[in-house]
Amino acid sequence: MTRLDLAEMSLREVNGELQALEAGVNDLDWRVANPQGAHAVAVGLTAPIRLTIEGHVGFYCGGMNQNAEIKVEGHAGPGLAENMMSGSVRVAGNASQMAGATGHGGLLVVEGDTSSRCGISMKGIDIVVKGSVGHMSAFMAQKGHLVVCGDAGRDLGDSIYEAILFIRGKVESLGADCVEKDMAPAHREVLAGLLAEAGVDADPSEFRRYGSARKLYNFNIDHADQY
């Protein structure tokens, strides 16, 4: 295991060393010590490494991740795992707003709660939140899954496309064109797989499914007040 200390190295040096790693060439296990809320820790990683960050992080941790398995032993600021392509990011605490924004793939797991706009414009990422999510989560979500084991704030799934939302708790309100849908056995199977991958012990039958009513794909004067 290789340990990089942000108390002794600059963020540029730490990220540069991690970004330069190559599959099959370098150690698999890495740790970053003393993040102290630094922004943009571990962004743009491409090697299939296991990285543990020993503390809280600021904005955009794990952004653009490919292949790496990143674990944050603390809380995370806005934009966690933004535009992630593959691999995984797991946060032991809470995450601020826009967690998983525009993510194309991979798995994001938040052990605590997230703030507003979790999964905004998600494009294939899978997000599992053990706690609750804030308002406007999954806004314009295009593809992927958002699993919330707690409650969801107002305007869930506003202007959603083809992403699928699984919510176990209360939903304060649904956004434009987002509706509750039937929970078929195939959906429970998908949800069970996501929960298992995230390490969440929850019964899929306790969740409800939400998605697009597909009424806003094309302009319709009868729905003008919803645009």
Number of domains in the chain: 1
Structure tokens at 210: 């939400």
CATH number of the domain to which 104 belongs: 2.160.20.60
| Cβ atoms of 165 and 149 closer than 8 Å | no
- Identify the burial level of 217 via C-beta atoms within 10 angstroms of its C-beta, where 0-12 means exposed, 13-18 middle and 19 or more buried: exposed
Residue range of the domain that includes 53: 2-226
Residue 149: the pLDDT is 98
pLDDT tens for each residue of 58-74 = 999 999 999 999 999 99
Which of the four pLDDT bands, split at 50, 70 and 90, describes residue 96?
A: very high
**Residue 198 scores a pLDDT above 60:** yes
pLDDT tens for each residue of 137-191 = 999 999 999 999 999 999 999 999 999 999 999 999 999 999 999 999 999 999 9
- Identify the burial level of 143 via C-beta atoms within 10 angstroms of its C-beta, where 0-12 means exposed, 13-18 middle and 19 or more buried: middle
Of 52, 217, 58, nearest in space to 140 by CA: 217
| Cβ atoms of 162 and 211 closer than 8 Å | yes
pLDDT tens for each residue of 17-63 = 999 998 777 789 999 999 999 999 999 999 999 999 999 999 999 99
